[in-house]
Amino acid sequence: MNIFRTKDVSLGRTEMHRHLKVWDLILLGIGAMVGTGIFTITGTAAATLAGPSLVVSIVISALCVSLSALFFAEFASRVPATGGAYSYLYAILGELPAWIAGWLTIMEFMTAVSGVASGWAAYFKGLLSNYSISMPQALNGTFNPEQGTYIDLLPILVLTLVTGLVLLNSKAALRFNSLLVVLKFSALALFILVGIWYIKPENWSNFAPFGFGQIYGGSTGIMAGASLMFFGFLGFESISMAVDEIQNPQKNVPRGIVLSLTIVTILYALVTLVLTGIVHYSQLNVDDAVAFSLRSIGIGWAANYVSLVAILTLITVCISMTYALSRMIYSLARDGLLPRSFKQLSKTSRVPKNATILTGVASAIAAGVFPLASIAAFLNICTLAYLILLAYGIIKLRKDKGMPKEGEFKTPLVPLLPILSILICLSFMLQYSVETWIAFGIALVVGLVIYFTYGYRHSTLSE
């Protein structure tokens, strides 16, 4: 049994339309990243983990993500294949490490889509409650017969809409996504421009109330804040999963990743500084921190606009991640590790229709039936695990194939930066609770069972 057999991924195998440009990729990356992290997690993290020093946590998270983005960029220019980290590792480390990366990516995006849909439903219910409108009790929450709730209907409806949009064709879905991204920026720009006049420097006087924390095994402090704020950057890798539909992917994928990540980092830092300057960090443990801070200074109209845009914003995250996840499932099915029916493309729009439908149905079931407690930690630990594999993969890539050629992206300071990335990822992983590690272990075992009972025997390399 050769579980480390490698696959030669070829750029010329695509059957999809190549029509996405750099601007499309930047908006795709921003649409995936800027959402729940900036509108919700920032307040919770500031109040419970880091205080105003959360801005330092964001910089540390951005450093970790930036290192991984460099590796993604070099892989994308040298191994341009759809599937992101999965395809890159298939070519370098072999089938089993690639499958683990692919499976963890599915866990990340599937849970993210479900969680964001649930978050959208919560915001929307709050908006409806202002007009004394509410859903029937049985359809107003995840499965809990004691409280009279059996299914949460709203997230299922929004995921049905998102799945339909992604099935139309990728260009139409991303155009709609781009429109909502512009709205998202308008809300955050409004918050910064209005809020900057109400900053009270004394709110920053106790800048790091929880201290720096511990590099490994901490529960509060700047490092714990960084491990949670990592959630706010998830989605940047969705760009590399669209390689089959990108014009000149060797150049445009690295540009899209680096530019979108830079924009998001600056935006997060500015919003966090204004947020903790307007309201004392101890009062920010709320679900709608940005809107809450505007209401606290008496600017209700701006708070309402931010709340409305936040609802739309969460839809962009669903679109970007559903888009990326369906391409991930397509890649696994194309290689035989999942049933071949999931690689079938629609005749007109040339999108993986069965993979997209599976993504929508599974995410809708999870969002409508199961409560998603501690979702950010589970998402993060799955992502960090495969980013460790990716960092090792870049070292192996250099060892096996040498330095990048002219015109290909080159990660600086290899192997120093990959080793640093591995250490930072491990530090973040060890900030999480035992329950998160148990959930991660169960997900990993399920993935291994699927591989050894189906994937290995049906792999195209077996044929």
Asked whether the beta carbons of 409 and 254 are under 8 A apart, the reply is yes
Are the CB atoms for 109 and 159 separated by under 8 Å? no
pLDDT at 81: 67
What does the pLDDT read at residue 407?
A: 73
**Within 10 A of 216 (CB to CB), how many other CB atoms are there?**
12
Give the pLDDT score at 17. Answer: 58
Chain centroid to Cα 352, Å, comes to 21
Q: What's the pLDDT at 396?
A: 94
List domains and CATH numbers for the chain: 20-450 (1.20.1740.10)
CB 88 within 8 A of CB 258: no
* Residue carrying the six token digits 């049905």: 160
By C-alpha distance, which of 220, 182, 9, 208 is closest to 102? 9
- Joined together, the tokens standing for residue 154 give 């709203």
User: Long-range contacts made by residues 350-356, C-beta under 8 angstroms, separation at least 24?
Assistant: 350/15, 350/16, 350/17, 350/169, 351/16, 351/166, 351/167, 351/169, 351/170, 351/326, 352/326, 352/327, 353/167, 355/326, 355/327, 355/329, 355/330, 356/163, 356/166, 356/167, 356/322, 356/326
pLDDT of residue 11: 46
* Exposure b/e, 192-207, CB count within 10 A at least 16 = b: eebbeebbeeebbeee
pLDDT at residue 32, rounded to an integer:
72
Q: Which of 435, 58, 343 minimizes the C-alpha distance to 225?
A: 58
**What is the reported pLDDT for 295?**
85
3-class secondary structure, 234: coil
What is the token pair recorded at 400? 């096996």
Segments in 34-151 forming alpha helices (H): 36, 42-45, 54-78, 85-92, 95-129
Model confidence pLDDT, tens digit, residues 97-106: 999 999 998 8
Max distance between CA atoms of the chain, in angstroms, equals 68
The pLDDT value recorded for residue 371 is: 56
Neighbours of 6 (CB within 10 A): 17
Q: How far apart are CA 337 and CA 332, in angstroms?
A: 5
31-73 pLDDT, tens digit per residue, is 778 776 777 778 888 998 889 999 999 999 988 888 888 888 8
Tell me the mean pLDDT per 10 residues along the chain, length 463.
Answer: 77 54 77 73 87 92 87 81 78 93 88 77 71 75 71 83 76 70 85 92 91 77 86 74 65 80 90 93 83 87 84 76 83 89 77 85 76 66 92 94 84 92 90 87 95 93 78
Shortest CA distance to 252 belongs to which of 266, 265, 242?
242
What's the pLDDT score for residue 261? 87
